[in-house]
A and B are shown apart, each in its own frame.
Chain A
Amino acid sequence: MKKLGLYSVLVSALLFTTGCSEKNADVNDVVAPSTAPVEAAIQDGTLLERAGNGNYYMINGQRVLIEHVYFDFDKYNLTPANKDKAVSNSSKLSQVSSDTTIKVFGNTDEWGSDEYNYALGLKRANSVKDVLVANGVTTNVTMVSLGESNPVCTEKTKECWAQNRRVEHELEK
């Protein structure tokens, strides 16, 4: 995690520096665009950005969105739409290098009781892991349940609770 964070900072710093220098450059001093070497320097599996619906990773030289997978209240089976998401994630994640570990984090809303919520989070992670493995992901996949401890939304609304019932993916070398 720390490594990913460090890489993100370095990448951001490089991109920011590049942007500034381009803005101030004299047209007569134009040199080869610096973006290509920067992208090439980003290691496969690097977290590029966290978005509301998923995380962007550098996979096989491409910026790829690995979407969060959502669940119904008190359920750990995948709805058809969310199964499609998981299958789509699988095809992207099957491209990661073999030394990468895919960590699948299961999360719940605030309802339910302590231990049961952590088990529910784990079963959600397991449902997603099963889809990944069945769809060609051969690298190491591990699971961690965070129960209700890691909400992305803290308002007391139905929509908010639905956002918290999710599985997230992280890549780790």
Chain B
Amino acid sequence: MDWKGRDVISVRDFSKEDIEFVLKVAERLETELNEKGSLDYAKGKILATLFFEPSTRTRLSFESAMHRLGGSVIGFSSASSTSVKKGESLADTIKTVEQYSDVIVIRHSMEGAARLAAEVADIPVINAGDGSNQHPTQTLLDLYTIKRAFGRIDGLTIGLLGDLKYGRTVHSLAEALAFYDVELYLISPELLRMPKHIVEELRERGVRVHETTDLEGTIPELDVLYVTRIQRERFPDEQEYLKVKGSYQVNCAVLKRAKESLRIMHPLPRVDEIHPEVDRTEHALYFRQVFSGVPVRMALLGLTLGVL
């Protein structure tokens, strides 16, 4: 697969080989970064970060990745400061910005916006979240985090906890995990179960899937517990939200039953689903997970720019 000029829009566009390749490159870059402090593969290259919808963490992670690759960054962090407000089409914004840059990272509230941007632009486009659809770099960094922590993904038992209905992150993570030999526990309130079509697809692809509402009974089985926030803004109905809000909390009492090697992940930000007392335990992997975003995004930027 030639990565130069390739767009990164959806986990659906990736094969297992693609994923493994990105993870391997990320690992190489992380090692090099540890040795040299900074790299210069992308020297002279410019990344444009177009955040039509604000997401400070994701934007900072991409910017950090580009700087660590030796490149520079331009962009905006909300649509209100751009000509979009004056009614400019997304296609025109993209065509303009590509004159100033070598790669584009886009975050947009509309589903499919990144795909459209990629069709319009001649330079590579990386999706940093399009509405409730995709956030592929998050999925790749999740996989990278697991691989770095365990040395493998195959053979692990992984629990996905929280909002499995509206959670974009867990949908694409589950889809990507289907490439591997894993056992999945889907732990959620009844109201927030993983959509049926995804569960069916996982089973068809040979994943052993268990659906449950019981965190405490499941926790002894797990190698990885991936916790998600129950997001108020995703609920069409406030009453529905109030029924499930605070359904689960991972704290030291719950973790008494866990394997010593259990690692807890979370795409962050968290509210109250993981107690801060967990941070100091060996189980906490979520800050390491944040760090993983940098080498993974460096790999994607470098590969699509064709400089690695």
A associates with B: no
Using a CB–CB cutoff of 8 Å, the interface residues on chain A facing chain B are none
